[in-house]
Structure 1
């Protein structure tokens, strides 16, 4: 077997792309998308027919031009998700507009709209993960969505505070970002010599993994944003790993053996009983300068790509 085959025996492998060729090639269980990946797919020109379908749909819904454009972008994301679901047995993650990351009501409404659009296409909500930035507001949205049997993927997760808040809210899945943590430490000149065993992104996921398993939290950990193959291998055994096609290809081309590095030793302690309040969360998250900076930066970048998508849709309207 190649390394990708071995990895699939240790962790559930998810492909981080909207590209159908990559999905067909690597046979993942699940897939994830975000505004950046949707934008890449749209720029490829392969989905022009879906853009036209989305614009027609949004015009029928009516409303202001802003509402039509945003509904068309949501519909486009859903249509691409539907195409991906035809190729995989599991779930697709579809992101709520990142500009609502600090607004509970707007994020909740947007999430329900996305689910409704999928169900109009004949897709059961059990196959959808609503992707939300791991802000306090969106973590509470994910908690509320569970009442409607809607599961969420809390993304842009950089701090231990975010991980604890998600566990307490019984979020379905979190996406801690490995590579972007490493990027921050490298950019700040805080790493003189790189070793995957001391990679701050890898260590962050290991800490979350041990905490969740030790206290019996059921939230799935899906490590994301990898910069190299060694990071992926170091986290083999993590519940899920969402990996780019470039790294998946590198894994597929190698037959070198590697061990399962994260081991679930079982629950040794009862779930923490004290309530983790909003003020607790904000204070602890604020203590982590890297997490504060990278969460804000990630939200800004997703908003930028969302705006680029809206500009493309406007041309069709």
Structure 2
């Protein structure tokens, strides 16, 4: 078997893409999107009809059109996967708890209008304190959440205490930061991104947290194979294809088979002050969280410009 076939036996494989055609060809269980991926897909000619449909369903409100577009792409992807789609809240709401709650509810409502049950959707939010608190409320309403841009143990603990469904720690971006900061290469299990996810995974299993972990943002297939056995891994189409074309033996590196009689609740209870201090002590996490929010917000603005251009063109025609 190739590496992808073996990986699917020990980990739920998720496609990290807005490109429906790529997803169709790789048969993942779930899929994730973000503003950057939706922007990339929206530029492709084969998906222009999805933009037109969003415009027609939303009159002339740019915010409504963007939300409808996200849902339209999600619905198209869901036709080709058996599991769930992650759809992201506007990054500009990352520090707005109520705004994030309202947006999450709205996206779920738009999916339900298309006949998609909320059980097939994960609302994706940045793992700021406000994003985590918004997710905590949405989870109480039966809306499952995926907390993204996660880089620190403080973020991971706060998410687990909030009982969110899933977290997405970013492996490759952590590697990028340490390579730049320390001016050297990292390999195998010494990859800082791999070490971060492994630490979180083991901590969650030790403390019997129900939140599951989905490693994300990979730079190479070695990072993926080092995390074989993780609950889920979300992988770009290019790396999925590389795994599919690579032969070899894949050994699970992570396992949830711990003695449950030894599990215990975390001794840490994070309020806003403790969370902020602990997160602030991790320079990498502080920098990458802020950087990620800015990047997703900038891509959201570009997406809005693309939609406005399409809207004006439609009016002209």
TM-score interval, normalised by the smaller of the two chains: over 0.9
TM-score (norm 2): 0.95
Q: Is the 8 A contact 2:91 2:293 kept in 1?
A: yes
Q: Which residue of 1 aligns with 2:119?
A: 126
Q: Which residue of 2 aligns with 1:297?
A: 291
Q: Say whether residues 1:172 and 2:172 are aligned partners.
A: no
Following the alignment from structure 1 to structure 2, what is the Cα–Cα distance between the partners of residues 108 and 8? 33
Per-residue CA deviation, residues 112-137 of structure 1 (Å, 9 max, x unaligned), is: 11000000000000000000000000
Q: Which residue of 1 aligns with 2:184?
A: 192
Distance 1:81 1:193, change over 3 A: closer
Backbone CA RMSD of aligned residues = 1.1
Following the alignment from structure 1 to structure 2, what is the Cα–Cα distance between the partners of residues 26 and 316? 30
Q: Is the 8 A contact 1:214 1:265 kept in 2?
A: no
Q: Is the 8 A contact 2:186 2:192 kept in 1?
A: no
Q: How many residues are treated as equivalent by the alignment?
A: 309
Following the alignment from structure 1 to structure 2, what is the Cα–Cα distance between the partners of residues 101 and 26? 32
Q: Say whether residues 1:307 and 2:301 are aligned partners.
A: yes
Following the alignment from structure 1 to structure 2, what is the Cα–Cα distance between the partners of residues 162 and 111? 20
Q: Say whether residues 1:34 and 2:27 are aligned partners.
A: no
Following the alignment from structure 1 to structure 2, what is the Cα–Cα distance between the partners of residues 305 and 293? 18
Deviates more, 1:20-29 or 1:219-228: 20-29
Q: Say whether residues 1:271 and 2:277 are aligned partners.
A: no
Following the alignment from structure 1 to structure 2, what is the Cα–Cα distance between the partners of residues 148 and 57? 26
Instruction: Name which of 143, 151, 155 aligns with 2:148.
Output: 155
Following the alignment from structure 1 to structure 2, what is the Cα–Cα distance between the partners of residues 179 and 116? 33
| CA positional deviation for 1:21 | 2.0
| CA positional deviation for 1:214 | 0.4
Q: Is the 8 A contact 1:81 1:92 kept in 2?
A: yes
Q: Say whether residues 1:233 and 2:200 are aligned partners.
A: no
Following the alignment from structure 2 to structure 1, what is the Cα–Cα distance between the partners of residues 74 and 239? 22
Give ranges in structure 2 of 5+ residues lacking alignment: 312-317
Q: Which residue of 1 aligns with 2:314?
A: none
Following the alignment from structure 1 to structure 2, what is the Cα–Cα distance between the partners of residues 316 and 43? 11
Per-residue CA deviation, residues 211-266 of structure 1 (Å, 9 max, x unaligned), is: 00001001010000000000000000000000111111111111200210011232
Q: Say whether residues 1:135 and 2:128 are aligned partners.
A: yes
Distance 1:252 1:274, change over 3 A: closer
| CA positional deviation for 1:273 | 5.2
Distance 1:239 1:187, change over 3 A: same
State the 4+ residue runs in structure 1 displaced beyond 3 angstroms. none
